[in-house]
């Protein structure tokens, strides 16, 4: 984490404080200089900053043993705490309602800002569904997309494995603390994911698996991603929660159709009736997301390099409109949407592509500015 030990401890405390969310912390940090100053503030100051009663009580009576254990976990190599003020906090997630104030990460923090596709589905898929998830994930990972899922059995696990088999990146968002792996049989898979990609959680270490945490983590899976692909899902599948979050966040929702006789097709068919994009092959997703991947990048399994566009290369009109709206000051996504008149889901995707091409730079707090090469 950026900053000193006191600041790190302050963020760890905020993550353990009920009633603290990203919006409240962001608002408070407009009046105080740091998280450390925030947690040291008087009760009257905290009340004035909009911190609710039960949260103020928790800040006044912290669990020192738990905080020391959190910091001990963070001392291990590859363990990180990313607050919303960090330049590594994923910008797409930062621009979603209900985003966490900070994230625990095991692995690469840089992976969180790569272009991602969420892949979710049944924990008990058919053999065909498992194979489809693996093959789609492998192809899309070779084309430069990071595959993001929830480390669950079934479609989640097959998606992670497909991305790893292709030599690509994959991210697992967990519904527990990162000192444990759930389900336990995915311990080896979790190690492989962390070795090149990342394990992510909003929950502090030693948080056990609880039923209510897994729907909660789904908003992070969709919030990190340009779109969500549902491979197989029953009518009441939890993966439909992820798809709903994606839709609410202005992200694309994709679904693979199946047999009308299969219960595991009904969730996908419901999504398609509700407006999800029908997917028959992996390239349908790349086309819909308007990701300009070259044939060479797809063949080599590499993402587009983050290099400035060639001076002679012309941008599509919508990209030029977005750059003109951006101007030379750092702006949030909402301001860019208002200035440009473009659709919210298009702006989120376009900003990431422009960043990959070296034309814009992400700033803390989900803001963007033009890169020096464009000024």
The helix or strand, by DSSP H or E, that contains position 105, with its residue range, turns out to be strand 102-107
DSSP class per residue in 108-147: -SGGGGS-EEEEE--SS--HHHHHHHHHHHHHHHHTTPEE
Rounded (5°) CA angle 22-27-32? 115
Q: Which domain holds residue 340?
A: 317-374
Kindly state whether residues 125 and 53 are assigned to the same domain.
no
96 lies in a domain?
no
* Residue pLDDT, tens place only, 54-64: 999 999 999 99
Looking at residue 372, what is its pLDDT?
63
Kindly state whether residues 330 and 194 are assigned to the same domain.
no
* Residue pLDDT, tens place only, 178-187: 999 999 999 9
Helix axes 5-15, 64-74, angle to 10 degrees: 120
Which tokens hold the place of 138?
């492998």
**CATH code where residue 283 lies:** 3.40.50.450
Kindly state whether residues 277 and 182 are assigned to the same domain.
yes
Q: How many angstroms from the chain centroid is the CA of residue 103? A: 10
Looking at residue 174, what is its pLDDT?
98
What average pLDDT score do residues 80-108 get?
A: 94
b/e per residue 300-316 (b: at least 16 CB within 10 A): eebbbeeeeeeeeeebe
**Dihedral angle over CA of 279, 133, 178, 102, nearest 10:** -10
**Mean pLDDT over each residue of the chain, to the nearest integer:** 89
* Residue pLDDT, tens place only, 16-50: 999 888 889 999 999 999 999 999 999 999 999 99
**C-alpha separations of 364 from 22, 45, 88, 93, 110 in Å:** 13, 25, 8, 12, 14
Kindly state whether residues 263 and 329 are assigned to the same domain.
no
* Residue pLDDT, tens place only, 283-328: 899 989 877 554 334 443 444 333 333 333 457 788 888 888 887 6
Decide if 192 contacts 163 (C-beta within 8 A): no
- Among candidate residues 332, 330, 350, the one with its CA nearest the CA of residue 342: 350
Looking at residue 314, what is its pLDDT?
58
Weakest-pLDDT range from 73-82, 127-136, 357-366: 357-366
* Residue pLDDT, tens place only, 118-134: 999 999 999 999 999 99
Indicate the number of domains in the chain. 3
Kindly state whether residues 239 and 163 are assigned to the same domain.
yes
213 lies in a domain?
yes
């Amino acid at each position: 984490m950026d900053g000193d030990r006191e600041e790190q401890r302050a963020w760890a405390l905020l993550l353990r404080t009920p009633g603290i969310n990203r919006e409240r912390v962001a608002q408070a940090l407009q009046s105080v200089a740091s998280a450390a100053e925030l947690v040291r503030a008087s009760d009257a100051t905290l009340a004035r900053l909009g911190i609710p009663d039960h949260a103020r009580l928790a800040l006044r009576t912290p669990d020192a043993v738990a905080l020391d254990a959190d910091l001990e976990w963070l001392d291990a190599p590859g363990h990180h705490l990313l607050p919303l003020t960090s330049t590594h906090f994923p910008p797409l997630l930062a621009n979603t309602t209900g985003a966490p104030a900070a994230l625990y990460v095991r692995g690469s923090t840089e992976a969180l800002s790569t272009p991602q596709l969420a892949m979710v589905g049944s924990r008990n898929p058919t053999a065909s569904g498992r194979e489809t998830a693996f093959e789609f994930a492998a192809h899309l990972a070779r084309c430069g997309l990071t595959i993001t899922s929830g480390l669950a059995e079934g479609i989640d696990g097959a998606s992670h494995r497909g991305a790893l088999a292709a030599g690509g990146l994959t991210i697992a968002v967990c519904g527990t603390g990162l000192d444990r792996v759930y389900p336990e049989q995915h311990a080896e898979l979790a190690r492989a994911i962390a070795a090149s990609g990342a394990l992510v959680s909003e929950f502090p270490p030693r948080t056990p698996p609880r039923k209510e945490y897994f729907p909660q983590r789904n908003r992070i899976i969709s919030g990190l991603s340009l779109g969500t692909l549902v491979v197989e899902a029953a009518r009441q599948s939890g993966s439909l929660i992820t798809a709903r979050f994606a839709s609410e966040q202005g992200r694309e929702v994709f679904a693979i159709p199946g047999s009308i006789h299969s219960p595991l097709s009904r969730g996908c068919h419901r999504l398609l009736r509700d407006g999800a994009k029908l997917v028959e092959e992996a390239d349908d997703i790349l086309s819909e997301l308007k990701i300009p991947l070259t044939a060479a990048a797809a063949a080599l399994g590499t993402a587009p390099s983050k290099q400035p566009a060639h001076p002679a290369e012309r941008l599509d009109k919508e990209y030029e409109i977005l750059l003109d709206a951006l101007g030379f000051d750092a702006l949030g996504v909402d301001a860019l949407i208002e200035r440009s008149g473009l659709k919210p889901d298009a702006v989120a995707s376009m900003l990431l592509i422009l960043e990959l091409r070296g034309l814009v730079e992400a700033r803390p707090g989900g803001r963007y500015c033009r890169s020096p090469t464009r000024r």
